[in-house]
Chain A
Amino acid sequence: MPADIAISRPREAGRRGRLADQAFRALTLLFAVLILLIVGGIIVVLAVGAAPALRQFGWGFIGTETWNPVTNRFGALAAIYGTLATSAIAMLIGIPLAFGIAMFLTELCPRWLRRPLAVMVDLLAAIPSIIYGIWGLFVFAPFVQRYIEPALIGSLGHVPLLGALFQGPPLGIGVLTAGFILAIMVLPFICAIMREVFETVPAVLKESAYALGTTTTETVWQVVLPYTRIGVVGGILLGLGRALGETMAVTFVIGNSHHIHASLLQPGTTISAALANEFNEASGDLYLSSLIALGLILFVITFIVLATAKLLLIRLEQRAGG
């Protein structure tokens, strides 16, 4: 209560304090409004830039795979598919790994190992994405081409339905490799948040559970996870946000081809990779406009993900409260 504080001080200081308070409030308001202006500005610029392409192709822009600068036919489907597919693979691999690591570190790890392991995982987050890209291209992709992909083609390739995902010559470069790299990149973010929230579980809750005779597994599923699910979901969505927008590392290993293949071993592209590759040299207004439209779509996808996350969190909170 600023008024109370002012009374307890000499009048002059009180006035100055009030002035400072008002100035501070105005300043923070300005910052907050600035964010709104910037985001609004981005949307306006993207929409204006994308307008020619969207007018030309209509809704078909989202629904067609063709991306042909020669004939000036552009469609975003291949890039949208690549963005979602690589992120999905990253999440499928990243979430269980992050969960396991976070759980091990908070619940099971011997004390002496805890700190070095945690630092290692955090270090993964500090590596610039270009390094992941170079490592992916020169070290990881050849490894995938020689060992992982032949094994996948030989085993899962023969399974009906699922086998369609693992067909074609092993190239080492493609949607699957990009998904692997993304999984490693999002791992530390998800893991760090999970660790943080797992540590907020009051010891008394866990001890009570153990006192009732539960096993560690049961404690984790029945006590720790329900207590922390909001934070866990938040961490996962932070990782997903990063995976959707990641550019450099993906550009190196995805193969940059505007085609949708059933097989994950074939090259593809993502929205951000297409932008990074093609923006500089895009000749022709429609080409440029189509690239900006891709940017707008990525913006919308990210917005949808964040909005869904918010809704999910609200519902979880309500259920936890009720």
Chain B
Amino acid sequence: MRGRLLAALVAVGLSTPAQAVTITGAGATFPYPLYAKWAEAYHAITGIGINYQSIGSGGGIRQINTGTVDFGASDMPLKPGILRKDGLVQWPQVMGGIVVVVNLRGIAPGQLRLDGATLAGMYLGRLKQWDDPAIKKLNPGIVLPDLAIATVHRADGSGTTFTFTHYLSEVDPEFRAKIGESTAVAFPGGLGGKGNEGVAALVARTDGAIGYVEYAFALQNRMTYTLLRNAAGRFVSPGADTFQAAAAHADWTEAPGFYLLLTNEPGRDSWPITSATFILLHRHQPDPEKTREILSFFDWAYHHGDAIAERLGYVPMPPEVTGLVEEMWQQKIVGPEGRPVWHRGGP
């Protein structure tokens, strides 16, 4: 027994220097809390460090292109053409939802009902007052105040803004024509806050404010979220079950380069503003050893990271999708001699 322990200790002692690899990544802020927790758990098991810098999706895309990090992360998927041009592959790592939060005295979380058109109307400046007939019609039982609507948006470029504006562009033609979708857009009015926390703070202290934040953030801060009408016409409450319902309707097999947005999905229980967050990697890898280490981490996260993800309010990718992703790894990611780096079922 003691001998075996000693042998194990020696083995650990010998193997640590060889495995003292640090994988660097940078990008989206939205999945940062999760990637940090995953990295911590993974390091405890394997000794491999993951150094993830949450500098924002735009920064993540820039850094993977300049080659200063091993992997990039973005909330906004890159179009297949751009992936081809820059020699990158991307895959969805985890999903989450964006919720609408308000600050109206006397309104409880989950009480106010909104739909895409009213939301777009507010952000376009078409609806200016909370007691507008369009909002009243959706909320027959609620007394809405005679108060100006103060829309709050992200002042920094953000994948959250991209998903939110993508949803509004999908449901409202005027929004698509006048504002469009991007990580940063020109809203005609309203207040800008930096980061989820900036938006949350502005909403929390401005009477009559409405804003959009990432679900985990609204949860932690006990914010007054609203219900939203989904594509099936039902009012749904944000949560892991409605995000999962939306994800279940996503067809990843028909999405080249995994370019897929999960907004306004059909289904009775689908939350309309659901999104995935993506990892970016170079197709041609100079060091297959290192690449296998990187992919092993994401493989581990797919198979062993669900509990951590759910605890933080994220939605894990379903097994069918992770299978597709690992198939893509095998087909697309190659070493110096053009040989595949990853083999299904482990490195």
Q: Which stretch in A63-71, A100-108, A229-237 binds the other chain?
A: A63-71
Q: In chain B, what residue has the closest Cβ to A267?
A: B191
For the complex, give the distance between the alpha carbons of A282 and B183 in Å.
8
Chain A residues whose C-beta falls within 8 Å of the C-beta of B242 in the assembled complex = none
For the complex, give the distance between the alpha carbons of A153 and B201 in Å.
25
A275 CB to nearest B CB, Å: 11
For the complex, give the distance between the alpha carbons of A252 and B184 in Å.
18
Q: Check if A283 sits within 8 Å of B205, measured CB to CB.
A: no
CB proximity to B under 8 Å, residues A254-271: 255-259, 266-267, 269
Of the candidates B59, B188, B206, the one whose C-beta lies within 8 Å of that of A173 is B206
A140 CB to nearest B CB, Å: 10
Of the candidates A70, A141, A277, A287, the one whose C-beta lies within 8 Å of that of B156 is A277
Known: A173-B202, A269-B155, A283-B183. 20 other contacts (CB 8 A): A67-B186, A70-B180, A137-B201, A137-B205, A138-B201, A141-B205, A255-B190, A256-B191, A257-B187, A257-B189, A259-B189, A267-B189, A267-B191, A273-B155, A282-B58, A283-B61, A283-B62, A283-B157, A283-B182, A287-B184
For the complex, give the distance between the alpha carbons of A172 and B207 in Å.
10
Residue A251 is within 8 A (CB to CB) of chain B in the complex: yes
Q: Check if A255 sits within 8 Å of B191, measured CB to CB.
A: yes
Residue B193 is within 8 A (CB to CB) of chain A in the complex: yes
- Given A169-B150, A256-B155, A283-B61, verify A70-B206 contact (CB < 8 Å): no
- Given A169-B148, A173-B202, verify A256-B180 contact (CB < 8 Å): no
For the complex, give the distance between the alpha carbons of A145 and B310 in Å.
39
**Mask: chain A, 260-299; 1 = CB below 8 Å from B; 0 = not:** 0000001101000100111011110001000000000000
Interface size class of B (residues with CB under 8 A): 35 or more
Of the candidates B157, B193, B205, B207, the one whose C-beta lies within 8 Å of that of A278 is B157
Residue B295 is within 8 A (CB to CB) of chain A in the complex: no
Contact count A vs B, C-beta below 8 Å: 102
Residue A171 is within 8 A (CB to CB) of chain B in the complex: yes
For the complex, give the distance between the alpha carbons of A145 and B191 in Å.
14
**Mask: chain A, 67-91; 1 = CB below 8 Å from B; 0 = not:** 1111100000000000000000000
Residue B55 is within 8 A (CB to CB) of chain A in the complex: yes
Chain B residues whose C-beta falls within 8 Å of the C-beta of A259 in the assembled complex = 188-189
Q: Check if B156 sits within 8 Å of A68, measured CB to CB.
A: no
Chain A residues whose C-beta falls within 8 Å of the C-beta of B192 in the assembled complex = 255-257, 267, 269, 277
- Given A169-B150, A280-B156, A283-B157, verify A68-B183 contact (CB < 8 Å): no
For the complex, give the distance between the alpha carbons of A266 and B192 in Å.
12
**Mask: chain B, 141-180; 1 = CB below 8 Å from A; 0 = not:** 0000000101000011110000000000000000000011
Residue B234 is within 8 A (CB to CB) of chain A in the complex: no
For the complex, give the distance between the alpha carbons of A223 and B130 in Å.
59
Residue A14 is within 8 A (CB to CB) of chain B in the complex: no
Chain B residues whose C-beta falls within 8 Å of the C-beta of A171 in the assembled complex = 150, 191, 206
- Given A137-B201, A277-B155, verify A258-B186 contact (CB < 8 Å): yes
Residue A52 is within 8 A (CB to CB) of chain B in the complex: no
Residue B285 is within 8 A (CB to CB) of chain A in the complex: no
A17 CB to nearest B CB, Å: 51
- Given A66-B186, A70-B185, verify A280-B191 contact (CB < 8 Å): no
For the complex, give the distance between the alpha carbons of A141 and B181 in Å.
31
Residue A245 is within 8 A (CB to CB) of chain B in the complex: no
Q: Check if B184 sits within 8 Å of A281, measured CB to CB.
A: yes
Of the candidates B157, B180, B193, the one whose C-beta lies within 8 Å of that of A71 is B180
Identify 24 residue pairs between A and B in the complex whose beta-carbon atoms are under 8 Å apart, listed by A's number.
Answer: A66-B186, A69-B183, A69-B184, A70-B181, A145-B207, A169-B150, A173-B202, A251-B155, A255-B191, A255-B192, A257-B187, A257-B191, A257-B192, A267-B189, A269-B192, A277-B156, A278-B156, A280-B58, A280-B157, A281-B59, A281-B183, A281-B184, A282-B157, A283-B184
Q: Check if B182 sits within 8 Å of A69, measured CB to CB.
A: yes
Q: Which of B150, B186, B205 has the most CB of A within 10 A?
A: B186
A219 CB to nearest B CB, Å: 47
For the complex, give the distance between the alpha carbons of A155 and B322 in Å.
63
Chain B residues whose C-beta falls within 8 Å of the C-beta of A278 in the assembled complex = 155-157, 184
Q: Check if B185 sits within 8 Å of A281, measured CB to CB.
A: no
Q: Check if A277 sits within 8 Å of B57, measured CB to CB.
A: no
Residue B290 is within 8 A (CB to CB) of chain A in the complex: no
**In the complex, the 4 A-B pairs of residues with the closest C-beta atoms, listed nearest first:** A281-B157, A256-B192, A256-B155, A169-B148
Chain A residues whose C-beta falls within 8 Å of the C-beta of B181 in the assembled complex = 70
Residue A241 is within 8 A (CB to CB) of chain B in the complex: no
Chain A residues whose C-beta falls within 8 Å of the C-beta of B193 in the assembled complex = 256
**Mask: chain A, 96-127; 1 = CB below 8 Å from B; 0 = not:** 00000000000000000000000000000000
For the complex, give the distance between the alpha carbons of A280 and B28 in Å.
11
Residue A142 is within 8 A (CB to CB) of chain B in the complex: yes
Chain B residues whose C-beta falls within 8 Å of the C-beta of A71 in the assembled complex = 180
Q: In chain A, what residue has the closest Cβ to B207?
A: A145
- Given A138-B201, A281-B56, verify A257-B190 contact (CB < 8 Å): yes
Residue B194 is within 8 A (CB to CB) of chain A in the complex: yes
- Given A141-B205, A172-B206, verify A281-B57 contact (CB < 8 Å): yes
